[in-house]
Structure 1
């Protein structure tokens, strides 16, 4: 793994250098997730795509750092970390909470005059589709039950008290950030938004995912996969093909809403 110099070292993980890349794909984890979740994506994409995985504080090698408990602050810090990488087009892929962070990062990049190439919003309802949720207020048993239900965490970690003690603070902080997030109306993005969702995802219905089209004037697409919140695990190869084709052959992909 190679890292850049400066402040971005803390936030950005590049598992596979891609010196001939034509575009950068910045991958943003779900609540409780880490940069390593995107290692398979980095392994699978072609050398034309430089995959950068974001590492939030409070987990893995950053576990001793305080967690960030608001989406807005997280987006500010991620945007700052991405500033050195704007020599190539920057695409964003966020799953669940990462999709919200990606949306707010895209807003900030646009304000800086360097709009994202595209936002892939996975497993998350559109920002304008609010739900009242309180997972971050639950006790340990409630948090663990939520993680088990979503089936995105290694079951062995949920049965190990020491591992739980390490991961639950980040899980709680991330849930607090995303559950207290409130969409602030503003100009739509100019970049396309490509939403992806599982057809049995209790965190985002197909119609809630379709509503991402309201947040861009650059065209919107929606792909629905069989599965729940972590449908990505079962459909990795198809998602890699979709993302790669969309990034490298934009003229071959429809930019109209569907």
Structure 2
């Protein structure tokens, strides 16, 4: 019974996107690495679908599906990033005999960091790599999270300005009504978030950023290096907050080159 409950819990939180060559929808135990991907505020697991299909079958990509969107639309969004990290870390369970890496963009970067911190508290479970994208480091973010918008009109203006959401979606009142609860919940979570302090990680951390990201300067992103005693690298690409969309092929190649393998 316990194994069944764990399996169902994983299915609630993680989505996999099989390619034509790989029809598996559950964990691919033959993959060399598990990559857990965390979407941005208001985003869903499908944001990582192109990456998942490009890396299959060598990498088993598990994209996190937050409550309050798509097939979890009826669930209330979790408005506390620490609670959300607790729930995801619990759902992940042991990594088994293959390495695990975490990747998050924007809000997902903070969430990936908090999940990594929780995994690091378990003997032998710290991820082998943390990749953070489009998010200022915790040291640069402290005390500034309450700048997030509070009204719906301001929130939509900010989302539109970041360029990550199709304008047609934001212009459709019916669709906007569906996605606003998740957006509100995610930004409320960001407004109250304070990071786990100190240097709690020893794994390598790689930070990705756009050189014109209005959410974080290159120097602010560079402060992610303060969160680990391990190696730290930063990669700056041309673009704004959603620079990943503009450099999809380059980012896929970069991630593929960073990921650990069983032999490594």
TM-score, length-scaled by structure 1: 0.91
2:136 corresponds to: 125
Aligned pair partner of 1:15 in 14, 17, 23: 17
Matches within 5 A, 1:232-251: 232-248=244-260
Q: In the alignment, is the contact (CA less than 8 A) between 1:148 and 1:155 conserved in 2? A: yes
2:185 corresponds to: 173
SS in 1 for 2:102: strand
The change in CA–CA distance for 1:199 and 1:251 in structure 2 (over 3 A counts) is: farther
1:77-134 deviation per Cα after TM superposition (whole angstroms, max 9, x unaligned) = 1101110544421100000000000000000000012110100000001112122444
2:3 corresponds to: none
- The number of residue pairs the alignment matches comes to 248
Runs of at least 5 residues in structure 2 that lack an aligned partner in the other structure: 1-5, 19-23
1:208-236 deviation per Cα after TM superposition (whole angstroms, max 9, x unaligned) = 11111111111000000000000000101
Tell me the distance in 2 between the aligned counterparts of 1:197 and 1:85: 28
2:150 corresponds to: 137
1:114-168 deviation per Cα after TM superposition (whole angstroms, max 9, x unaligned) = 1101000000011121224443412x21111011100101111101111111001
TM-score, length-scaled by structure 2: 0.89
Runs of at least 5 residues in structure 1 that lack an aligned partner in the other structure: 253-258
Query: How much is the aligned-residue C-alpha RMSD, in angstroms?
Result: 1.9
Aligned pair partner of 1:36 in 35, 41, 46: 46
* Bigger shift: residues 45-54 or 180-189: 180-189
Q: In the alignment, is the contact (CA less than 8 A) between 1:193 and 1:216 conserved in 2? A: yes
Q: In the alignment, is the contact (CA less than 8 A) between 1:196 and 1:224 conserved in 2? A: yes
Q: In the alignment, is the contact (CA less than 8 A) between 1:135 and 1:142 conserved in 2? A: no
Aligned pair partner of 1:61 in 71, 85, 93: 71
Q: In the alignment, is the contact (CA less than 8 A) between 2:33 and 2:262 conserved in 1? A: no
2:122 matches 1:108:
no
Q: In the alignment, is the contact (CA less than 8 A) between 1:135 and 1:146 conserved in 2? A: no
Tell me the distance in 2 between the aligned counterparts of 1:132 and 1:102: 17
Matches within 5 A, 1:170-249: 170-248=182-260
Q: In the alignment, is the contact (CA less than 8 A) between 2:137 and 2:221 conserved in 1? A: yes
